């Protein structure tokens, strides 16, 4: 059957299904033929209605409150009788967490999720799957943003008629917040995750981008990063879901279809591993699966919801079939993670220069200067499908690798309270030292180069540092934290506390004070100090003169020349550019 006819048939079935269903269990989207989507009060009503209609299979509860005071609703769905996290663990059931509306304008997941769940509960889809798992469904994650309704909130997207806003009421992008966890919403989500420990987390989005025929991209991690055995299972998980929806008429991709050069199809695509500010970068650090679903914004809303519904059903079927095996593999990965001390760990990944050509289903297009902006613009002709021979770089390898500390990290007492609170949000184990260690052999990181962000990112001034860990002897006071590597979340520990990790606390500017020079020597004082040092220390004089000859930039920089002497004076702050967190090769007694 041709794809337009297949889509029409699928939509007709959905309309009939909606007509036959209890109106209390259908969405505004279904009743409008997927022209509109409902406000959040609909989610509250549906959550309660599902629990009332399926009392033995659905539990509706709150998992937090938004900054604007709205309840964060979630449904636990299972025909196993296990509707609590404790019951699921007791029965060894896999938990699948499906999340919609992290970007509330991209709301396909809310309407598709309710549709898929009702069909599964009624036995019309994924028969038998709910007996083998618990599905935890968050219809809308960014609730305050969801209620900022408008017709043009997603100008690059076809439908629904109105939708919510990308960011929260506090203007945070939740899909940049998984590791730093600034927002009350993310802190509530992490607590939900810690409570239920889902083996798989499905994050439902709608992509921006060019016009082409492919209707959805599906990415999973671990596939390119993370534990080796989890990668194998993750690849099978991704490929099985892609095969499922392809059989139903979709044209799925396994990479995010964003051009290397903006608006230039000839530039092709580059795959990669996202940092842990994103769900797919975060959950692989917990040794769990994350699936990013990105339906294509230029497909209309009925089509996108149907594709998303098909993916939710497919993932539920895959979890029913393989979930217990995934749990076993994850437990084994957790055990391996506890032995990460002293081992190489990749902090970032990047595609190599290896290129392959793929057949990409686009449209004929022209690239001509715009009479409006003057820029070179791409214009697509959707009446003329075309196969693009497109370059793709998807040979992904570690880009920055470090050696993990043998025992763990020491967080000094002056930072213990707030760092400890951040570790708790992620369920990371640590202990508070009840006595001072005195001078202790540790590794300390001193920055040799720092670059502060020139603008604000999510309310932070980011920091990029270069430097090395070197042995030192330093005082460690009572009340400091010891954060062991020997724990299942070892990779999360490293991601938070290694200063060069892309979403570390240091990278988000939380330790910027350590890299700001607060005390200094006036130039006229430094001149006198330098002359005295040159007179008293012939070796220093020879070193200075050699530096002048060999380093032209140094020679013409008065401030650098004076700093050469200031660094060798007793007034110099030895803590300047010293990262406050230390590494240790032995657990404190």
pLDDT at 209: 78
Residue with tokens 């769940």: 117
Give whole-number Cα distances, 28 to 31, 169, 238, 282, in Å.
5, 24, 31, 33
**Does 30 lie in the same domain as 123?**
yes
**Does 188 lie in the same domain as 141?**
yes
CA-based R_g, the chain, Å: 27
**Does 366 lie in the same domain as 511?**
no
- pLDDT above 50 for 354: yes
**Does 144 lie in the same domain as 88?**
yes
pLDDT at 458: 98
Instruction: Write the pLDDT tens digit of every residue in 398-411.
Output: 999 999 999 999 99
**Does 140 lie in the same domain as 120?**
yes
| Phi and psi torsions of 236, nearest 5° | -65, -40
Q: Distance between CA atoms of 421 and 520, rounded to whole angstroms?
A: 34
Helix (H, G, I), strand (E, B) or coil at 196: helix
**Does 470 lie in the same domain as 330?**
no
**Does 439 lie in the same domain as 552?**
no
Range from 8-22, 325-339, 569-583 that averages highest in pLDDT: 325-339
**Does 394 lie in the same domain as 539?**
no
**Does 282 lie in the same domain as 267?**
yes
| Cβ neighbours for 117, distance < 8 A, ≥ 6 positions apart | 50, 75, 77, 135, 137
Give whole-number Cα distances, 246 to 1, 252, 390, in Å.
13, 7, 21
Tell me, letter by letter, the H, E, C secondary structure of 17-75: HHHHCCHHHCCHHHHCCCCCCCCHHHHHHHHHHHHHHCCCCEEEEEEEECCCCCEEEEE
Q: What is the pTM of this model?
A: 0.94
- The whole-chain average pLDDT of the chain stands at 95
**Does 447 lie in the same domain as 374?**
no
Start-to-end C-alpha separation, the chain? 70
416 contacts 424 by C-beta, under 8 angstroms: no
β-bridge mates for residue 543, sequence order: none
Helix then strand then coil, % of the chain, to nearest 5: 35, 25, 40
Domain tally, the chain: 4
Report percent pLDDT > 70 for the chain: 97
Helix (H, G, I), strand (E, B) or coil at 568: coil
In a domain, 351, yes or no: no
**Does 385 lie in the same domain as 324?**
no
Give 366-369's long-range contacts (Cβ < 8 A, gap of 24+).
367/264
In a domain, 53, yes or no: yes
Q: How many CB atoms lie within 10 A of CB 546?
A: 10
**Does 377 lie in the same domain as 243?**
no
Residue 263: which CATH number?
3.40.630.10
Instruction: Write the pLDDT tens digit of every residue in 179-238.
Output: 999 999 999 999 999 999 999 999 999 998 789 999 999 999 999 999 999 999 999 999
- CA 159 vs. chain centroid, Å, equals 26
Mean pLDDT, rounded, for 346-362: 97
Range of the domain at 313: 3-337
């Amino acid at each position: 059957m041709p794809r337009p006819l297949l889509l029409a048939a699928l939509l007709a079935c959905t309309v009939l299904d909606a007509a036959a269903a209890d109106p209390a269990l259908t969405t505004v989207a279904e009743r409008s033929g997927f022209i509109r989507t409902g406000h959040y009060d609909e989610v509250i009503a549906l959550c309660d209605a599902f629990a009332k209609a399926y009392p033995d299979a659905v539990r509706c509860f709150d998992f937090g409150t938004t900054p604007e005071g709205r309840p964060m609703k979630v449904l636990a769905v299972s025909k196993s009788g296990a509707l609590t996290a404790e019951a699921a663990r007791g029965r060894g059931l896999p938990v699948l967490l499906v999340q919609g509306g992290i970007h509330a304008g991209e709301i396909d997941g809310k309407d598709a999720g309710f549709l898929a769940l009702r069909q599964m509960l009624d036995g019309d889809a994924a028969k038998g799957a709910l007996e083998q798992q618990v599905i935890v469904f968050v219809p809308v994650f960014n609730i305050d943003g969801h209620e900022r309704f408008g017709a043009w909130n997603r100008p690059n997207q076809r439908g629904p008629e109105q939708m919510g806003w990308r960011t929260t009421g506090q203007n945070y992008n939740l899909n940049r917040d998984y590791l730093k966890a600034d927002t009350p919403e993310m802190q509530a989500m992490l607590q939900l995750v810690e409570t239920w420990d889902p083996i798989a987390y499905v994050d439902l989005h709608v992509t921006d981008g060019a016009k082409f025929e492919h209707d959805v991209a599906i990415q999973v991690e671990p596939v390119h990063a993370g534990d080796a055995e989890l990668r194998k299972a993750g690849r099978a998980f991704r490929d099985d879901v892609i095969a499922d929806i392809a059989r139903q008429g979709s044209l799925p991709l396994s990479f995010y279809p964003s051009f290397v050069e903006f608006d230039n199809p000839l530039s092709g695509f580059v795959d990669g591993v996202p940092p842990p500010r994103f769900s797919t970068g975060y959950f692989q650090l917990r040794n769990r699966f994350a699936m990013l679903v990105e339906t294509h914004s230029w497909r209309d809303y009925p089509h996108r919801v149907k594709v998303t519904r098909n993916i939710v059903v497919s993932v539920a079927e895959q979890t029913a079939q393989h979930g217990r095996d995934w749990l076993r593999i994850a437990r084994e990965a957790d055990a391996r993670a506890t032995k990460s001390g002293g081992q190489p760990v990749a902090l970032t990944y990047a595609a190599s220069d290896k290129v392959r050509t793929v057949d990409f289903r686009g449209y004929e297009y022209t690239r001509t200067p715009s009479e409006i902006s003057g820029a070179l613009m791409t214009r697509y002709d959707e009446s003329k499908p075309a196969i693009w021979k497109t370059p793709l770089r998807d040979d992904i390898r570690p880009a920055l690798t470090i050696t993990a500390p043998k025992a763990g990290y020491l967080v000094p007492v002056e930072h213990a309270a707030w760092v400890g609170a951040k570790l708790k949000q992620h369920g990371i184990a640590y202990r508070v030292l009840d006595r001072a260690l005195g001078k202790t052999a540790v590794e300390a990181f001193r920055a040799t180069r720092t670059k502060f962000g020139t603008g604000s990112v999510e309310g932070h001034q980011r920091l990029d540092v270069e430097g090395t860990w070197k042995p030192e002897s330093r005082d460690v006071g009572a009340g400091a934290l010891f954060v062991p590597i020997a724990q299942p979340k070892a990779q999360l520990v490293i991601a938070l506390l290694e200063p060069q990790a892309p979403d570390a606390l240091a990278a988000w500017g939380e330790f910027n004070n350590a890299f700001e020079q607060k005390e200094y020597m006036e130039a006229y004082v430094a001149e006198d100090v330098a002359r005295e040092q040159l007179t008293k220390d012939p070796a220093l004089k020879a070193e200075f003169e050699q530096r002048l000859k060999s380093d032209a930039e140094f020679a013409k920089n008065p401030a650098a020349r004076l700093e050469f002497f200031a660094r060798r004076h007793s007034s110099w702050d030895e803590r300047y550019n010293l990262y406050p967190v230390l590494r240790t090769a032995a657990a404190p007694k």
